[in-house]
Amino acid sequence: MAENHDTAIKCPPFWPTVLLFALLLIAFLTLTTFFFDFFAGTATVGFGMQPSGDVRGTGMFFLYMSGYFTSLIVTLPMLKLRRFWTATAVYLPFVVLGFPISYYFEWVREHTWAAPWSGLGWTIGFLAVGLSADATFRFMSARWSDRVRAVITGTAISLASFLCTLACLRLVYRAPYQSGPGTFQGLAYFCLPWLLANSAFGGYTAYAIWRRT
């Protein structure tokens, strides 16, 4: 009798796997944040300014450029582990380590947040992205193939990231929210479809890697 595909899956240890992909996510997002929002900021001078007012470029622009690899890094352990909370756990070290850094730069140094606890909005936002990915993967129809589930999950990760970013930009900062040309929202007409398409491909790549390992 042919063995059921789901029962044939051998899952690796949960926490070592989560920690490995969490470190990959931290390394990747740290590099892309500094490159696109700081080092490459002068290339986006015409797009607008970040909320602090003294850093040129479109704030959170790195999100639009990082969808493929973010979805790949988060979706792959979900396929490997097959456990709810996997994506949320992968994001957890990023927000735990990132909060004090953000607190120093955004509140102590630049005083851009509306209040000292405003950074909790970003913390909740990133955890909500992970939870959205977990819920998407869990509650899709079991009749759908793992390839379809991975593609949809990868897309859901970036869609949730986009929505949480919009919410945080509206609620966290002292400066009035900007939605005109050159702002994060103002670039969405082109960058959001780009983000979702790349994220879907990132989910597919995660599936392809998982099938071969």
Residue 5 lies in a domain: no
Residue 38 in any domain: the answer is: yes
pLDDT for position 7: 44
Q: What count of other Cβ atoms lies within 10 Å of the Cβ of residue 141?
A: 7
59 part of a folded domain = yes
Is 23 a member of any domain? Answer: yes
- Rounded to whole angstroms, the Cα distance separating 137 from 145 reads 11
> Smallest Cα–Cα separation from 85: which of 125, 145, 127, 123?
127
Per-residue pLDDT at 178: 81
**pLDDT tens per residue, range 19-36:** 999 999 999 998 888 777
Query: Exposed (0-12), middle (13-18) or buried (19+): which is 176, by Cβ within 10 Å?
Result: exposed
Are 72 and 203 a contacting pair, CB within 8 Å? yes
Q: Is residue 96 part of a domain?
A: yes
Residue 132: give the domain boundaries: 16-211
Q: What is the pTM of this model?
A: 0.87
Let me know if residue 62 belongs to a domain.
Answer: yes
The DSSP-derived string for 127-165 is HHHHHHHHHHHHHS-TTS-HHHHHHHHHHHHHHHHHHHH
Per-residue confidence in pLDDT tens, the chain, 213 aa: 333 444 456 789 999 999 999 999 999 998 888 777 766 555 555 555 444 445 445 678 889 989 999 999 999 999 999 999 999 999 999 999 989 988 998 899 888 899 988 889 999 999 999 999 999 999 998 889 999 999 999 999 999 999 999 999 999 998 888 887 777 888 899 999 999 999 999 999 999 999 998
- The rounded distance, in Å, linking the Cα atoms of 157 and 143 is 21
Q: DSSP readout, 20-35?
A: HHHHHHHHHHHHHHHI
Distance (Å, rounded) from C-alpha 99 to C-alpha 95? 6
Cβ-count burial 124-138 (b if 16+ within 10 Å, e if not): ebbbbbbbbbbbbbe
Q: Domain tally for the chain?
A: 1
What is the per-residue pLDDT for 1?
Answer: 35
Smallest CA-to-CA distance from 137 within 148, 124, 126 is with 148
Query: Does some domain include residue 10?
Result: no
Kindly give, in sequence order, each residue whose CB lies less than 8 Å from that of residue 191, ignoring residues fewer than 6 positions away: 64
The verdict on residue 95 lying in a domain is: yes
Q: Tell the residue number behind the tokens 């966290």, with chain if given.
A: 172
Residue 210: the pLDDT is 96
**What was the pLDDT predicted at 16?**
95
User: How confident is the model at residue 4, as a pLDDT?
Assistant: 40
Say if residues 150 and 203 touch (Cβ distance below 8 Å). Answer: yes
